[in-house]
């Protein structure tokens, strides 16, 4: 099942991002999660969701829903990355 690979890579990306952001500042967490969402999670998750939906509907054209899912998740990751870049450091 090819969509299992997509889910696996997305979950692996989330685990790696979680490990990389442990104990870091909020600014660093936003940057790490933004990059992870854009590079590792959004393409593979949208691919896997599109294929899963196509199998459920038994229609190849139903897989085109991935073209709608990918930009939404990618933009969320881009916004998180930009928030992390432009966020001011917290002073105590």
Specify the pLDDT at position 44. 93
Specify the pLDDT at position 70. 93
Region 34-43: mean pLDDT is: 94
Tell me: the pLDDT tens digits for 47-92?
A: 999 999 999 998 888 888 889 999 999 999 999 999 999 988 766 5
CB 12 within 8 Å of CB 65: no
Global pTM value: 0.85
Q: List helix spans (H) across 1-92.
A: 2-21, 26-36, 42-57, 66-86
Query: Which is more confident, 20 or 87?
Result: 20
Mean pLDDT over the full length of the chain: 90
């Amino acid at each position: 099942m090819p969509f299992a690979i997509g889910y696996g890579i997305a979950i692996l990306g989330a685990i790696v991002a979680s490990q990389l952001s442990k104990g870091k500042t909020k600014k660093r967490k936003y940057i790490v999660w933004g990059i992870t969402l854009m590079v590792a999670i959004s393409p593979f998750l949208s691919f896997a969701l599109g294929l899963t939906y196509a199998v459920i509907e038994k229609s190849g054209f139903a897989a085109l829903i991935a073209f709608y899912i990918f930009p939404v998740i990618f933009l969320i990751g881009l916004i998180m990355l930009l928030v992390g870049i432009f966020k001011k450091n917290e002073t105590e």
